[in-house]
Structure 1
């Protein structure tokens, strides 16, 4: 795939806002999901099923709503897409904030196979704890 095709794939994922059909189409079943330490659920997850259960499951227990909003996209010649954006979050307690992130995606054979995430963990911690 070309760099512009890779960007279109990542952009489509964000615009889908969790649509299961798009997730299944875009994400490799053996996806590696690497979330920066200090962020809620920080760690490395292997496999789409584990990401849903072990990362998003506990995350959604703490949030009424949580969405990643992509704002800028860049690609290199090695099948990486860099997405800058923010998370929109509203906790179960009614606190809300926008949390900046950078996502580095790896694309292989038309699927997203790896996410490396860095985000403003301090804002996330204050949002959840206070």
Structure 2
């Protein structure tokens, strides 16, 4: 059985490869995925298909070169903390942004059960104006 740290690291490794199937592989059917209020795809989505549609596809459609770069991954047992940076260029304005971000993950029974994002939404909003 993999640790929570290994499961979340596998998600980030898949993100770095641009492997969508790998990114979704360990997200539980009942996972509650929360994007911060004020972020372009703010809300809580349940399950991998909702995350795919309302987060990954939505950001890919709105931004050119949208990326997350992981700086540190912290092991807190069944919880894992990812710290890094978002970057991208908003298609409608042509403006770029870079924003610090923290992801808080909860893992149980070999699946991602909860995700919550904390980021500087003002930097993203400025690029969208």
**Structure 1 length as normaliser, TM-score?**
0.84
Kindly indicate whether the alpha-carbon contact (under 8 Å) linking 1:11 and 1:70 is maintained by their aligned counterparts in 2. Answer: no
Structure 2 unaligned regions, length at least 5: none
Kindly indicate whether the alpha-carbon contact (under 8 Å) linking 2:27 and 2:47 is maintained by their aligned counterparts in 1. Answer: no
In the TM superposition, residue 108 of structure 1 has moved relative to its aligned partner by 1.2
In the TM superposition, residue 53 of structure 1 has moved relative to its aligned partner by 1.5
Aligned equivalent of 1:82: 81
Kindly indicate whether the alpha-carbon contact (under 8 Å) linking 1:65 and 1:91 is maintained by their aligned counterparts in 2. Answer: no
Aligned equivalent of 2:69: 69
Q: CA RMSD in A?
A: 1.9
**Equivalences for 1:3-82 in 2 at 5 Å?**
5-17=3-15, 18-77=18-77, 79-82=78-81
Aligned equivalent of 2:96: 96
State the 4+ residue runs in structure 1 displaced beyond 4 angstroms: none
**Once structures 1 and 2 are overlaid, which stretch shifts more, 51-60 or 68-77?**
51-60
Task: Report the count of equivalent residues.
Answer: 126
> 1:74-106 deviations in whole A, cap 9, x for unaligned?
1223x1001111112122243222211110001
